[in-house]
Chain A
Amino acid sequence: MASFWIVLLSVTAGTLVYSVFSCLPGLHVYNVMGLLVLAILGLEAKGIAVPPEVFIPMMTGMIVNWSMVNTIPSVLLGTPDESALFTVLPGQKYLMVGRGYEGTMITAVGSLAGAFFLVCVVAPFAPKYLPVSQEALKGHMHWVLWIIITFILMSEWPKGGNRGRAGWAKFWDAWGSLLAGVCTFVLAGLMGFILLNRSPVSHEVAFQNIMPAFVGLFAVPWCLLNIISAADVPPQRTTDSLDIDGDIILRSVWSGGLGGGFAAYMPIVTGGVGGLLAGHACAQREERIFVMGQGVSKFVYYVGAFMFLFVPGLNLSRGGGAWMVKTLYTPASTADYLMIVGSIAVSAALSFLMISPLAKLTLRLIDKFNYRHVSSVALAIIVVMVFAMTGWVGLFIAAVGTGVGLLPVLFGSRRLNCLGILLLPIACNMSGFGETIAGWLGLN
């Protein structure tokens, strides 16, 4: 019985405390978890053992809270992480017509629906079916990554070439954005090769290796765009009811659950990619389903990936959270799994209740200050975070990442191409020729 209260207290503390961090733009949960792991290891070195019933539910609370509450800075402050890539555009459109609160809450409902999906549908069946699929798929992950890359590159629509007579001029006008997309993918991929093979980041913060690049690729360009081009945000109104029904929630869970679940299960595939594929597979064009589905997808992606580590008979390490926990503890029993599932349920409920007041608080901030100033402060926080964790080297990496991340903004291509930073080097490594290519690049 004492264990029950310890777990409950830990997950509650993790959730409540982390809600402050979740509202900060640009701070990924894995960065904070990394620091927590270092702290736990430090305590263990001094002979103070932290029991798993304390840190595992606490970390669960952090991940669950972040995947839900981080919708607020993603949508309202325009500083998305990669998995929120698709949410942000329609989410910001809600903001620009004075309905930022509604956009945030629709995404939050999606996250809660994702929690139901994970706890009530996935969790009971995962121990029975996921090991079966793992057996068949384990030698084939590399080509799945390659076909995802192929689809990402082949499915982008040429944005130009809309006017004028037929011919090469029209063709090149159209292909400008496509070539910029391919260029972004390749440059990001090269950056990934460098960071994964010869990272300039100090080995003491090796777990933050890729963070500055991600911040540069995804968050900084968004902030810069807001600062340069953002019109004044109109006064925001809140509402007591959202224009959604059970059918919209069900269809959101369908598309978001598929996308997030796929991303959680596959190595390196992130929530943004899962969302892209599920969006194409389910063909849902309704904007509310789109926004809510991304809430589902982000939750299932981050929390599902963490949960898979604890599934009996599977114990799959996916996502930074699972890898960090593995350095401290190896899940062994069904009791661990039940503890995680219960922690997810508790934390999701608490986090959902906190989103509304936190969103209102943030909107009050936006109403009070110029949106450009809010974006500037968000950018400053991001820069400070990167510097605090990785120093000048990290800032340099973020600056390079920003250069690459601005290409899609300037040429109107897909921002998802920036994911080449992970997809390209990892796909090469998994297929067995990553080292050869690294050798060609002089990185061995």
Chain B
Amino acid sequence: MKGFSHFMSGVAVASFCPWSIEQALHGNPIFFILGGACGILPDTLDFKFYRFFYDHDVYVEPDPANLDPQAIADEVARAVKMGVDEHRYIRLKLSSIRLGADFWQQYQVEFDNENMEVLVRFGPVTNTGQVPVPGTQHRYPQIGRAKLPAKVIQTYDAKLKVDIFDGPTIGLAPRNDGDFDLEFLPWHREWSHALTIGFFLGLLWLGACSLFGHWLIGLQGLLLMTCCYAIHIIEDQLGHMGSNLFYPFTKNRTPGLHWMHSGDGLANFMAVWISCLLIFWNLHRALPNPVYEFSLAKLFLVALVVPGLLFWGLRWLLTRKDGLEVEAGDDADDEWNDMKAGQG
């Protein structure tokens, strides 16, 4: 799921802890801050820390002054050959091409397993908002091709498109049949997305609080941080990619339930909105003598079901002639692009 959905889910989980509300009413916001921060923290650890220390075997760094798709294709093929020769896991980095303060040359890498080739084609120049600059679409019509010594099989439909800011990492995992599985962003959800890490961070909090004699706040924080961190893992587990749930006791990701894609707009919005409603409900429940009385079911009916039905009814009316289809994204690709988008 997207960062804000995780963040709000964390805050919602925090609102279920009575001490969060009690402290907040006394002017102490720390438990809600911890809730939100722990909700988003697994992705923060990956995207803001770990990826900069993740070493690669091959770095593809195209020269902005001499754009050549063939050079990129050759480097990707070299990485696959390295994997074949040394029969080991290869980490390949596709770096972005910055052309100016706000302009990036987009390129796409594609594996053609039928012809045992890697194809590289340049797309348009995009701005930092990932919007193509008009007139740049066909500046480089040539396609770079290089022969591969083995097939590279994509286990899920990640698009190997490189444009703004940082480019993606590809992991080439050798298979028993001599081919390779392609892993998109292998550093993501490797160890950070584990229930044990949330508990460990909670222990650090407990330790810090105990130094100042605040045992109760430490214990409350331990429980809250573990739960808020866990909600991130649970939400991600509804998607495709899955997480390494009990690192260091487990080594690999447990595949997700495939119920949704992390970039699904509706799923993310529902997560945010339901979180808001649950927070509101918990705050209302905590009122000593509320003037207005209502049930959780009524709250969901008024604030979710009725406006939701109206919105979708209107949308259906407006789009029924167009036969609008929403393209489903890939978990890692959507998270990767979402993290980079909206950085005004």
Contacts and interface: CB of A to CB of B under 8 A. Distances in A.
Interface of A: 85-86, 89-90, 93, 97, 129, 131-133, 135-137, 139-140, 142-143, 146-147, 150-151, 154-159, 161-167, 170-171, 174-175, 178, 229, 245-247, 250-251, 254, 276-277, 279-285, 287, 414-416, 430-433
Given A136-B283, A155-B3, A150 B33 contact: yes
Given A133-B280, A431-B29, A283 B129 contact: no
Nearest to B311: A254
B2 interface: yes
B315 interface: yes
Contacts of B8: 281
B32 A283 contact: no
Among B27, B339, B344, residue most surrounded by chain A Cβ atoms (within 10 Å): B344
B55 A166 contact: yes
Contact of A162 (B25, B33, B95, B273): B95
A249 B54 CA distance: 43
A86 B344 contact: yes
Given A86-B344, A156-B343, A163-B61, A284 B265 contact: yes
Given A135-B284, A150-B33, 7 more contacts: A132-B292, A132-B294, A150-B36, A163-B59, A171-B53, A247-B315, A285-B130
A312 to B, nearest CB: 15
Interface in B1-40: 2-5, 7-8, 11, 21, 24-25, 27-29, 32-33, 36-37, 40
A414 B4 contact: no
B129 A287 contact: yes
Contacts of B7: 147, 151, 154-155
A154 B40 contact: yes
A133 B281 CA distance: 10
12 contacts: A90-B131, A137-B283, A146-B33, A147-B11, A158-B48, A163-B95, A164-B59, A171-B52, A247-B318, A250-B315, A281-B5, A433-B27
Nearest to B307: A121
A416 B2 CA distance: 20
Interface of B: 2-5, 7-8, 11, 21, 24-25, 27-29, 32-33, 36-37, 40, 44, 47-49, 52-56, 59, 61, 95-96, 98, 101, 127, 129-131, 134, 165-167, 263, 265, 268-269, 272-273, 280, 283-284, 287, 290-292, 294, 302, 311, 314-315, 318-319, 322, 324, 338-344
Interface of A is mostly: helix
Contacts of B263: 283
A164 B311 CA distance: 48
B15 to A, nearest CB: 10
Contacts of A414: 343-344
B165 A151 contact: no
Contacts of B265: 282-284
A87 to B, nearest CB: 10
A226 B15 CA distance: 46
A113 B322 CA distance: 22
Contacts of A97: 134
B97 to A, nearest CB: 10
Contacts of A89: 129, 344
A166 B53 contact: yes
A137 B280 contact: yes
Contacts of A93: 127, 129, 131
Given A146-B32, A155-B40, A431 B291 contact: no
Contacts of A430: 27
B2 A280 contact: yes
Contact of B268 (A155, A251, A281): A281
Contacts, number: 157
Contact of B27 (A142, A161, A171): A142
Contacts of B28: 431
Contacts of B311: 250, 254
A252 to B, nearest CB: 12
A171 B290 CA distance: 51
Nearest to B25: A139
Nearest to A136: B284
Nearest to A145: B29
A146 B344 CA distance: 21
B269 A283 contact: yes
A129 B302 contact: yes
A161 B169 CA distance: 13
B52 A154 contact: no
Nearest to A286: B131
A170 B322 CA distance: 47
A245 B314 CA distance: 13
B272 A247 contact: no
Given A137-B280, A166-B54, A280-B4, A143 B32 contact: yes
Contacts of A245: 318
Contact of B29 (A146, A159, A281): A146
A86 B271 CA distance: 24
B4 A281 contact: yes
A283 B8 CA distance: 14
B262 to A, nearest CB: 10
Contacts of B101: 229
B55 A143 contact: no
Given A135-B291, A158-B48, A287-B131, A279 B32 contact: no
Given A140-B24, A154-B37, A283-B265, A276 B344 contact: yes
B318 A165 contact: no
A161 B52 CA distance: 7
Contact of A250 (B36, B61, B318): B318
Contacts of A432: 27
Contact of B55 (A137, A165, A254): A165
Contacts of A431: 27-29
Contacts of A146: 29, 32-33
A78 B279 CA distance: 39
A85 B343 CA distance: 11
Given A97-B134, A161-B166, A143 B33 contact: yes
Q: Which has the most chain A C-beta neighbours within 10 Å: B2, B96, B129, B166?
A: B166
Contact of B272 (A150, A250, A281): A281
B268 A147 contact: no
A142 B55 contact: no
Contacts of B319: 247
Nearest to B275: A281
Interface centre among A85, A158, A174 (most CB of B within 10 A): A158
Contacts of B48: 158, 174-175, 178
Nearest to B23: A143
Contact of A147 (B32, B53, B340, B344): B32
Contacts of B54: 166
Contacts of A143: 24, 29, 32-33
